[in-house]
Structure formats: C-alpha cells, structure tokens
A and B are shown apart, each in its own frame.
Chain A
Amino acid sequence: MKLKNYHHLQNAISLAAIIGLEYFISVSSFLWALTILLVAVVVLFIARKSVTEVVFDERDNNLRGQSFLMAAYTFAFLVVVTIIMLLLGPVSKEEYQIISVTLIVSLVIIFGVQRLYYIYYQKFAHLEKKGIYIALGIIMILIILVGMLRFFSGEDDWICQNGQWVKHGFPESSAPTTECK
C-alpha cells in the first residue's frame, strides 16, 4: 500500500470509529463500542504493515512532538474558555461542577503524563538500571491513582442505617437534613 493511501485510510477509519464509538456509548452498547475499537485497531495495524515506504522518519517525530504540545496548549485554552462560558451560562451548579472537574482532571492528566515522559527521557532513558526507576515510577503512579480513587469515590459520606444517618469515613459536610428511610 502507498503511504498516501494509508493516510487516507487512517483518516477514514479514525473518523468512522469516533462516530461509531460515540453512538454506541450514547446508547449504552459497550460491547459494540469495544468491537468497533478493536476492528479499527486491527485494520490500521494490518494497513500499516502493508506500507512499503517509510511511514515516519525523524522529522515526522519532531513534528509530532511539536503538534502534540500545541494540541495540549489549545486544549488547555479551550478548557479555560469553556469553564468561564459555563460560569456565565445557564447551567446548574451540579452540572458546572461535573463538567469543570472532568475538564480540569483531563487537563492535569495530559500535562502530567507529558511531564512524566519528559522527565523519563531527560533523566532515566539513558541509564543502564532504568528498569528500577520505571518500576518505582509505576508504583508511585499506582499510589496516586489509588489515592485519587479513594478521594473521588465518595466513600466519605453519610449512610442511612435503621432510620438514622451514620457517618462513613470522614465526610466533609454535616449529616443530611432529609428524612432517612
């Protein structure tokens, strides 16, 4: 396959996969969504293997790095604009909280992961014992993830037991004033 054709195929499949994924997730057909994702990955993998020309060289890799950074900065700008627009717009406080937290967390993940890779390539990639540092890094990330899950899981809340509100963990707010049934 020619490189040009591969790029056309890549664009078409990516677009079709995004539309398919969005549709099937919106109608809660997760199995179909997963199937579409797998088929797209397999087709793209086979197509790439059939390309006889050089798919990427060092200039492309440099451009990819620059493009990713620009995409991340654009995303950060859009997040800020969206949050300000939502603040002024007619959305409820709960909706605003959910959307804002999702956007900010995704932003933190994007820049956090980029920073981690940067530190890795700058300080550890050339070391002989880099395996130890990779393992330590993975352990640290797992600890942070578990901590975040614990923080956002809502475990610290009031639970209704035998007609009474019982403290579970360390909830920030006081007991609900609504009736416990």
Chain B
Amino acid sequence: MDFQKVQLPPLNVNNMKNKIKELRVKLNITQEELAKLASVRRETIVFLEQGKYNPSLLLAYQVAKALKSNINDLFNLKY
C-alpha cells in the first residue's frame, strides 16, 4: 500500500464540525432530553452543538449512541 506522509495543521477545536443539532432536530428531541440520554448537563450539549467544546472520545461515542448514529457520521474534522 502506498502511504504518503502528510503533515496536518495544528489541532484546533474550530476545525471540528458536527451534526448533533441536525440529528437531534431530526429525531425531534430537546437538548435537555439529549443531555439526559447522554448523562451530561444541558450546557454541554449547547456547547457541543455550537462547536465550542471539544469532547472526549468517550463523550463523543456516548452522544453518537444517544442519537442512534456513529462517531464518524456525527463528527468531522475540516480544515
């Protein structure tokens, strides 16, 4: 397999995009309900949706599971 070394830009939370709000609206659940499902506080969901908080891998999986999705569909790193 041909592997090309590519230097990625430095880590920046602003490059992290997600579809949490989109999926939550699709499933017709409130931020409060999603917070309860994912065992976090509502503020955390607000910050996640706004892309202002970089969640741990554990929390990302938890939110993805609560939204009946997977981490790859939910989060995306865009430069």
Contacts and interface: CB of A to CB of B under 8 A. Distances in A.
B35 A59 contact: no
Interface string A44-63: 00000000011011111000
Contacts of B55: 58-59
B44 interface: yes
B35 A54 contact: yes
Size range of the chain B interface in the assembly: 10 to 19
Contacts of A3: 41
Nearest to A54: B41
B71 interface: no
Contacts of B43: 59
Nearest to A59: B44
Contacts of A59: 40-41, 43-44, 47, 53, 55
B56 interface: yes
A152 to B, nearest CB: 44
B29 interface: no
Contacts of B50: none
Interface of A: 3, 53-54, 56-60
27 contacts: A3-B41, A53-B41, A54-B35, A54-B39, A54-B40, A54-B41, A56-B41, A57-B39, A57-B40, A57-B41, A57-B44, A57-B59, A58-B40, A58-B44, A58-B55, A58-B56, A58-B58, A58-B59, A59-B40, A59-B41, A59-B43, A59-B44, A59-B47, A59-B53, A59-B55, A60-B41, A60-B44
